[in-house]
Amino acid sequence: AAMREDRIKKTKTVCTYCGVGCSFDVWTKDRKILKVEPQVEAPANGISTCVKGKFGWDYVNSEERLTKPLIREGDSFREAEWEEALELITRKFTETKKEYGPDALAFISSSKCTNEESYLMQKLARGVIGTNNVDNCSRYCQTPATLGLFRTVGYGGDSGSITDIEMAELVIIIGSNTSESHPVLATRVKRSHKLKGQKLIVADLRKNEMADRSDIFIQPSPGSDIVWLSAVTKYIVDQGWADESFLNNRVNGLDDYIKSLEPFTLEYAEEATGIKKDVLIKIAEDISNSNTVSVLWAMGVTQHLGGSDTSTAISNLLLITGNYGKPGAGSYPLRGHNNVQGASDFGSMPDRFPGYEKVTDDEVRSKYEKNWGVTIPKEPGLNNHEMISAVHEGNLKVMYLKGEDMGLVDSNINYVHEAFEKLDFFVVQDIFLSKTAEFADVVLPAAPSLEKEGTFTNTERRVQRLYQALEPLGDSKPDWEIIMEVANRLNAGWSYSHPSEIMAEAASLAPLYSGVSYERLEGYKSLQWPVAKDGTDSPLLFIDKFPFPDGKARLFPVKWTKPLEFDEEYDIHVNNGRLLEHFHEGNMTYKSKGITSKIPNVFLEVSPELASERGLEDGTLVRLTSPFGNVKVECLITDRVRGKEVYLPMNDTGEGAINYLTSSHADKDTDTPAYKEVSAKMEILRAK
């Protein structure tokens, strides 16, 4: 019995799902997961978790886990030893680089991998291959928010902490299905709203749970958020309600900005968004009457042709009303994946080194060149959207992608699949044989978070450690070890024996992390960047200054980019987002029985009006067809959506996968796909 007890182990980890960054103890016995036990000292969640954090772990023992490297043979794969797989990879990398140059190779990091793994992936690209072609999936979600914040306040992350959101007098949620996408964070808002008199305004196409609870709920026409935001800002300025002293002391560019607001009258906004003037005035009054305003937003804002500009408009509004640098206020672009913040923070971006230092900056580049003993190209590399085009054009020959199901989550996936087929050589590293891996030449078996050490950074810029609970299954290995083996076969001479050494190197190079160390992150301790050398971190940004040379923020004028227009026959607007129980394309959650038993598949939400017009019932099977592809899915009639706006959860790996419908159109400033600008026609395939 004693021996059996010895096999029971308690390990601190960080959730592998969303960007809230809940941490907890996981109890295991051999490979069995006994329970997940949140702790009071967990900084982001305390004793709370959601259904995914609590029950979404048995995918680690799924029979579908990859346990051996796979090498393509014709239409199928055969199992191989590491030696053979790595030898093939490094030979192909070397040959391609020799024949076509380093920019014929590209690297995709994962927002589910650790910070240290993101650091190594960009180091492999830049420091070993010699290309800046490296990106990660934040391009698919919050890169527009990062740009909007870079433009205005200088750091591309949440400006405060979850506790600030909790204490705000007014919370505004725009295009975020918070209670399903960031459940534990949503609970904090629900509690403050119910018990502490916090006001809540929600803007969304769909009447989600937060909308149900809100004081004001608006449903602007698709893609028009920038209009009502700018009209409200203009009204505040016109009424003399702007925060004069904040603007005088801490902000540049006021005159040009005010001029740019001229078109955004209340009348214009009412016409463009469908929101009544008196509602817009009420929103402006509520903002002006609140001492602290926090704005939360997500993909409903960013995944549009003008996603960066709308994010910028949010930040402009916060600057005009002085809602930065004080507890309870600020901008909160909610991060999707558990480590989507960290994947960018640690340099897996085509134009930024770790800590967001620019590739084009000679001084910064030479710092890395000296440290790594290499020459790094001056020009930014390709982002993941450009990579797909470059493959089609014949300029990109080899891709190495880890932990990312690009073949399902990128937009217009038929086009992406064709690109994968055109590659000379494609390496995919994952824990399962994903849709993307099906196109690979070599598939490498990686280890999920419970089987390795490292750090994740949550939506509030909080770096937290995860400890190893289980041994890697079969022959799978932690991503950082695999990347190091690839690099060393290319003569890199890396000798990291533990992720802490990788973090130490990153901290020595990137000023944003200079005080980050594993010792300072022991157990439930955490640090929010920027972290000074002495270990002082930054739960709230911009208290005294903004990170620009003169310390002042910048108002940034923006214009409305109207959403895509489709032919009349595509008369259904297809909105998309998450379900609480599943995570993204569902690679992990569909392999967790605790979750699939609750929600085995997705459904299309249809309004009662559309249902009666077309004769749809719960369970009717329909086909939606856009100019780019089609999906088959069953209907669910609900008043959460209205008119011809339908909602298709993105959590499907098969015939209902939303990205068969989406186009290659993208945000004009960041190339983030305009996933939310989809129209389709509908036909009934089978009555209920």
**In this chain, which of 13, 28, 49, 177 binds ligand SF4, going by CB under 6 A?**
49
Count the alpha carbons within 13 Å of 610 in the hemisphere toward its beta carbon.
Answer: 28
Nearer to ligand SF4 by Cβ, of 337 and 397: the residue is 337
End-to-end CA separation in angstroms for the chain = 55
Quick one: which H or E segment has residue 6?
helix 2-6
Nearer to ligand SF4 by Cβ, of 302 and 458: the residue is 458
Number of residues that bind ligand SF4 (CB under 6 A): 14
Residue 78 CB, shortest distance to ligand SF4, in Å, is: 36
Nearer to ligand SF4 by Cβ, of 20 and 521: the residue is 20
Nearer to ligand SF4 by Cβ, of 288 and 589: the residue is 589
Count the alpha carbons within 13 Å of 435 in the hemisphere toward its beta carbon.
Answer: 21
DSSP 519-566: GGG-TT-EEESS--TTS---SS--SS--SSTTS-EE-------PPP--
Quick one: which H or E segment has residue 509?
helix 499-509
Stretch that binds ligand SF4, among 12-20, 74-82, 172-180, 623-631 (CB under 6 A): 12-20
Q: Rule CB under 6 A: say whether 578 interacts with ligand SF4.
A: no
DSSP 303-368: SSTTHHHHHHHHHHHHHHTT-SSSTT-EEEE---BTTHHHHHHTT-BTTB-GGG-BTT-HHHHHHH
Quick one: which H or E segment has residue 25?
strand 23-29
Residue 329 CB, shortest distance to ligand SF4, in Å, is: 23
Count the alpha carbons within 13 Å of 59 in the hemisphere toward its beta carbon.
Answer: 27
Residue 172: count other Cβ atoms within 10 Å of its Cβ: 27
Residue 276 CB, shortest distance to ligand SF4, in Å, is: 35
Q: Rule CB under 6 A: say whether 512 interacts with ligand SF4.
A: no
Q: Rule CB under 6 A: say whether 53 interacts with ligand SF4.
A: yes
* Contact mark string toward ligand SF4, 15..44, x via CB under 6 A: x-xx-xxx----------------------
Backbone angles phi, psi at 120, to 5 degrees: -70, -35
DSSP 355-422: GG-BTT-HHHHHHHHHHHTS---SS----HHHHHHHHHHT---EEEEES--HHHHSSSHHHHHHHHHH
Q: Which amino acid is at 487?
A: A
Residue 178 CB, shortest distance to ligand SF4, in Å, is: 10
Q: Rule CB under 6 A: say whether 226 interacts with ligand SF4.
A: no
Nearer to ligand SF4 by Cβ, of 36 and 408: the residue is 36
- Look at phi and psi of residue 46 and say left if phi exceeds 0, alpha if psi is from -120 to 50, else beta: left
**In this chain, which of 12, 25, 26, 50 binds ligand SF4, going by CB under 6 A?**
50
Residues in the chain: 688
Nearer to ligand SF4 by Cβ, of 21 and 328: the residue is 21
Q: Rule CB under 6 A: say whether 165 interacts with ligand SF4.
A: no
Nearer to ligand SF4 by Cβ, of 22 and 141: the residue is 22
Residue 511 CB, shortest distance to ligand SF4, in Å, is: 28
d(CA 153, CA 121): 28
Residue 187 CB, shortest distance to ligand SF4, in Å, is: 9
Nearer to ligand SF4 by Cβ, of 47 and 685: the residue is 47
Stretch that binds ligand SF4, among 14-22, 121-129, 208-216, 436-444 (CB under 6 A): 14-22
Q: What is the largest CA-CA distance in the chain?
A: 76
Residue 574 CB, shortest distance to ligand SF4, in Å, is: 25
**DSSP one-letter code for 291:** S
Residue 525 CB, shortest distance to ligand SF4, in Å, is: 18
Q: Rule CB under 6 A: say whether 52 interacts with ligand SF4.
A: yes
* Contact mark string toward ligand SF4, 369..408, x via CB under 6 A: ----------------------------------------
Asked whether the beta carbons of 641 and 205 are under 8 A apart, the reply is: yes
**DSSP one-letter code for 124:** I
Nearer to ligand SF4 by Cβ, of 53 and 445: the residue is 53
E strands in 184-339: 199-203, 216-218, 251-252, 293-297, 330-333
Nearest one of 94, 147, 183 to 486, comparing CA atoms = 94
Q: Rule CB under 6 A: say whether 179 interacts with ligand SF4.
A: no
Residue 183 CB, shortest distance to ligand SF4, in Å, is: 4
Nearer to ligand SF4 by Cβ, of 65 and 182: the residue is 182
Residue 339 CB, shortest distance to ligand SF4, in Å, is: 11
Count the alpha carbons within 13 Å of 552 in the hemisphere toward its beta carbon.
Answer: 14
Q: Rule CB under 6 A: say whether 334 interacts with ligand SF4.
A: no
Nearer to ligand SF4 by Cβ, of 184 and 391: the residue is 184
Q: Rule CB under 6 A: say whether 266 interacts with ligand SF4.
A: no
Quick one: which H or E segment has residue 483?
helix 479-489
Nearer to ligand SF4 by Cβ, of 112 and 304: the residue is 112
d(CA 155, CA 268): 32
3-state secondary structure of 450: helix
Nearer to ligand SF4 by Cβ, of 184 and 227: the residue is 184
Stretch that binds ligand SF4, among 177-185, 228-236, 425-433, 559-567 (CB under 6 A): 177-185
**DSSP one-letter code for 472:** P
Stretch that binds ligand SF4, among 71-79, 176-184, 399-407, 558-566 (CB under 6 A): 176-184
Report the relative pairing of strands 199-203 and 170-174 from DSSP bridges. parallel
Residue 162 CB, shortest distance to ligand SF4, in Å, is: 11
> Count H helices, E strands: the chain?
25, 26
Residue 595 CB, shortest distance to ligand SF4, in Å, is: 11
* C-alpha distance from residue 344 to each of 18, 115, 135, 256, 503 (Å): 16, 9, 8, 31, 15
Stretch that binds ligand SF4, among 13-21, 203-211, 363-371, 413-421 (CB under 6 A): 13-21
Nearer to ligand SF4 by Cβ, of 224 and 464: the residue is 464
Q: List Cβ neighbours of 296 (8 Å cut-off, separation of 6 or more).
A: 165, 171, 172, 173, 174, 176, 178, 332, 333, 334
Q: Which residue bears the tokens 């004081």?
A: 215
Q: Rule CB under 6 A: say whether 339 interacts with ligand SF4.
A: no
Q: Rule CB under 6 A: say whether 45 interacts with ligand SF4.
A: yes
Nearer to ligand SF4 by Cβ, of 332 and 439: the residue is 332
Q: Per CB under 6 A, which of residues 186..215 are in contact with ligand SF4?
A: none
Q: Rule CB under 6 A: say whether 183 interacts with ligand SF4.
A: yes
Stretch that binds ligand SF4, among 10-18, 464-472, 488-496, 527-535 (CB under 6 A): 10-18
Q: Rule CB under 6 A: say whether 69 interacts with ligand SF4.
A: no
**In this chain, which of 184, 433, 541, 572 binds ligand SF4, going by CB under 6 A?**
184
Token digits of residue 77? 């794969």
**DSSP one-letter code for 591:** G
Residue 36 CB, shortest distance to ligand SF4, in Å, is: 9
Stretch that binds ligand SF4, among 182-190, 217-225, 311-319, 470-478 (CB under 6 A): 182-190
Residue nearest to ligand SF4 (CB): 53
Binding site for ligand SF4 (CB under 6 A): 15, 17-18, 20-22, 45, 49-50, 52-53, 182-184
